[in-house]
Amino acid sequence: MDKYQIPSVAKACQLLQLLAANSDGLSATHLEAELGLPRTTVFRLLKTLCAEALVEKRGKQFVSGPGMLNLGFQALQSDKLRQHAAVHVQRLAQQSGLSVHLAVPNTDSSLIIEVCNASLQPKIASRPGVSTLLHASATGKVFLAFRHFDELERLFAGRYLTAMTCRTITELEPLRKDLKRVIALGYALDDREYHDEVRCLAVPIRDRSGLVVASLGCTGPASDLKGERLDAMVSGLKDGASAIYRAVFQRGAKGGEAPGNTSFLVTYGMQAPNPIMMGN
C-alpha cells in the first residue's frame, strides 16, 4: 500500500463496496472474513459508518445506508457527462424503440450511469448503477478494446471469464480476436453472450485527447437486432456518440469547435488510438 494511504480508510471503503454488491446485506462475521480484520476492528468500522448513515443494521445483517444512496445520487447529478448525454440517450431510445444506455469504465467492470428503457422486456431493461462484466458486455468490450487491449493478461490474471450463457467468450485468445474486430469496425457486439436471445451494441465516446471515457450502447431482442436493423443502430449509436462528444467536450469552445485535432470523432476504426453484471 502507498505510504500516503490510510489502511483503516481503505478497509472502510472495501466494506462499503462489499455491502453495495450484496443488496440482502452481510453479517459482521461475513465482513470479518472477507476483510481479514479482527472482529473488534470490524465492529468499530460498522459503528462509525452507521453513525454517518452510510451503513444500516437490519437484524443481524448490515446493508448500505441512506447516506450511500444520497452520495450516489449526488454523484450522478453532478456528473457532466451524464447530464449532457441524457437527452441523446433518450432521443435514440425513442427513435429506435430499444433500451439505450451510457456506461463508464469502473475498474474491472462497466458501470451504467444513464438509461432510457423504450423496451419493456425484463431482460432488456436496465437501470443506472448496474455493473456489467467487461468480457461479456458490449460496453465492457469497448473499454477492453480501446483502453486495455495490451493488458488483457494482467487484467484477467488468476481469474475465470465467467460464462453468462453458452455463447459467452471464456478464453483470452478468442476474446482478443473479438476485440480486434471491435477496433476494426468501431463497435462492440454482445451476441447473446449475457442473456439468451438478447443482443447489445456499443460504441466508444472519446474526450478531446482521443481517450475512450465512456460507451454508448443499446439492447434489444436478437430476433430484431440483426441485418439492416443492426447496421442502422450502429450508425445511430456512432452519431449519438459524436453528439455527446460535442455536448460535453466542445461546449463553450469558440465557434462550437474544440481546439486541436478532432478527427478521432469520426475515426472509429483501426486508425483510432489503442491505449482498456445485464448484457450491455
Cell numbers placing 126: 436496465
Residue 231, CB-side half-sphere exposure with 13 Å CA sphere: 2
Cell numbers placing 238: 456512432
Q: What is the DSSP letter of 76?
A: H
Amino acid 271: pLDDT: 29
How many Å apart are CA 272 and CA 102, to the nearest integer? 20
pLDDT tens digit string along 252-265?
A: 444 444 443 333 33
Strands (E), 68-211: 99-106, 109-117, 131-133, 188-191, 198-206
Q: Specify whether the CB–CB gap between 199 and 220 falls below 8 A.
A: yes
Q: Specify whether the CB–CB gap between 280 and 110 falls below 8 A.
A: yes
Amino acid 273: pLDDT: 32
The low-confidence residues of the chain, meaning pLDDT below 50, are: 252-279
Nearest to 118 by CA among 91, 145, 140: 91
Amino acid 124: pLDDT: 64
Q: Helix axis angle, 39-51 relative to 28-35, nearest 10°? A: 110
Neighbours of 230 (CB within 10 A): 18
Query: Which domains, and CATH codes, for the chain?
Result: 7-68 (1.10.10.10), 79-265 (3.30.450.40)
How many Å apart are CA 109 and CA 198, to the nearest integer? 20
Nearest to 106 by CA among 130, 123, 84: 130
Amino acid 106: pLDDT: 84
pTM of the full predicted structure?
0.70
